[in-house]
């Protein structure tokens, strides 16, 4: 089962957030019929947004990460809610030129230029928005820059996405943040373990929170939150009807004249909704 764990060491003044999103990514891969290359990138973006969801305070809050790249995959969109729901998709799902390779190299499909946009919102609208340029795009480096620059929190990030038989086997991520005053020597030793690849190898091998905190030297870590995560979409027919009702009078008239009932497909879960002529006619009457 996927989860998010947040803990804090009172002695060293260092926080740790650890997420595992393997089952959610597997489900999203299947929903979108994603190839192995898109699935790998999707795993990294979902792990990243799950990590940032630890900062959500209220039940109706969400955080989203939108990526834009000049490579063939185009970009992605993923989001997470306070209650643990995860969603995500890549703009391109199948990349025939790269999907038959056993060793997936994301840099080939991401291109030279990238942009990460972080959006925090609630039921009333957008609360904050930050954009990070990351050339070329690297989810680990981009997320670290977001925390270090946009939030002024010295932070180490690691993201691990492991594929097997052309599908995601495990996806996880960890964030360690320094607060003031902090045990600086301990934090430097933690950074060295991140930069050496030791942390990535450890979370790739399904190390649990106890083993991870021991590895990082934060053995007095106190757990403040343990949240279960799952791939779950919030789309419904009411939201679809509202989106269609936002079309212009001319567009709605055109739908009725052509007698081609619109089918709306959710980007996040690929579920389709068909709107009836009666519903379109009611929308027009309300406009008039």
In CATH, what class is 3-231? alpha beta
Q: How far is CA 82 from CA 32, 119, 130, 154, 232, in A?
A: 24, 14, 19, 24, 13
| CA–CA separation, 44 and 18 (whole Å) | 14
**DSSP letter string over 43-62?**
HHHHHHHHHHGGG--STT-E
Q: For 57-78, write each residue's pLDDT tens digit.
A: 999 999 999 999 999 999 999 9
| CA–CA separation, 283 and 116 (whole Å) | 37
Q: What is the mean pLDDT of the chain?
A: 91
Q: Does residue 16 surpass a pLDDT of 80? A: yes
In this prediction the pTM is: 0.90
Please give the CATH architecture assigned to the domain spanning 237-287. Answer: Alpha-Beta Complex (3.90)
* pLDDT at 150 (0 to 100): 78
Share of the chain above pLDDT 70, in %: 100
Tokens of 89: 């998709």
Q: Provide the residue count of the chain.
A: 288
Q: For 130-166, write each residue's pLDDT tens digit.
A: 999 999 999 999 999 999 887 788 999 999 999 988 8
Share of the chain above pLDDT 90, in %: 69
| CA–CA separation, 225 and 246 (whole Å) | 40
Tokens of 197: 């690849």
Would you call 69 exposed, middle or buried from its count of C-beta atoms within 10 A (0-12, 13-18, 19+)?
buried
Span of 78-87, 91-100, 219-228, 265-274 with lowest mean pLDDT: 265-274
Q: Does residue 190 surpass a pLDDT of 90? A: yes
Q: For 232-264, write each residue's pLDDT tens digit.
A: 988 888 887 887 888 888 888 888 887 777 788
Q: Domain boundaries in the chain? A: 3-231, 237-287
Q: Does residue 230 surpass a pLDDT of 80? A: yes
Tokens of 260: 């081609």
């Amino acid at each position: 089962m996927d989860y998010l764990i947040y803990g804090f060491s009172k002695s060293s003044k260092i926080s740790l957030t650890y997420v595992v999103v393997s089952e959610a990514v597997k489900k999203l891969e299947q929903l979108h019929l994603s190839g192995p290359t898109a699935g790998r990138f999707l795993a990294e973006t979902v792990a990243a947004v799950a990590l940032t969801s630890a900062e959500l305070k209220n039940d109706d809050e969400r955080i989203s990460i939108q990526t834009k790249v000049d490579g063939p995959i185009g970009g992605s969109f993923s989001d997470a809610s306070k209650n643990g729901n995860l969603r995500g998709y890549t703009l391109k799902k199948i990349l025939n030129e790269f999907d038959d390779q056993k060793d997936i190299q994301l840099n080939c499909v991401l291109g030279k230029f990238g942009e990460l946009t972080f959006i925090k919102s609630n039921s009333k609208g957008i609360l904050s928005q930050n954009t990070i340029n990351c050339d070329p795009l690297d989810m680990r480096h981009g997320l670290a820059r977001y925390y270090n620059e946009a939030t002024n929190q010295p932070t180490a990030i690691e993201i691990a996405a492991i594929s097997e038989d052309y599908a995601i086997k495990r996806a996880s991520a960890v964030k360690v943040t320094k607060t003031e005053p902090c045990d600086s020597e301990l934090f430097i030793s933690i950074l060295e373990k991140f930069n050496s690849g030791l942390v990535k190898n450890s979370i790739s091998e399904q190390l649990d929170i106890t083993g991870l905190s021991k590895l990082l030297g934060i053995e007095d870590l106190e757990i403040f939150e343990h949240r279960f995560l799952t791939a779950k979409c919030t789309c419904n027919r009411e939201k679809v009807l509202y989106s269609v009702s936002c079309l212009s009078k001319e567009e709605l008239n055109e739908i009725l004249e052509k007698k081609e009932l619109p089918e709306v497909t959710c980007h996040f879960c690929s579920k389709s909704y068909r709107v009836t002529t009666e519903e379109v006619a009611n929308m027009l009457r309300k406009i008039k």
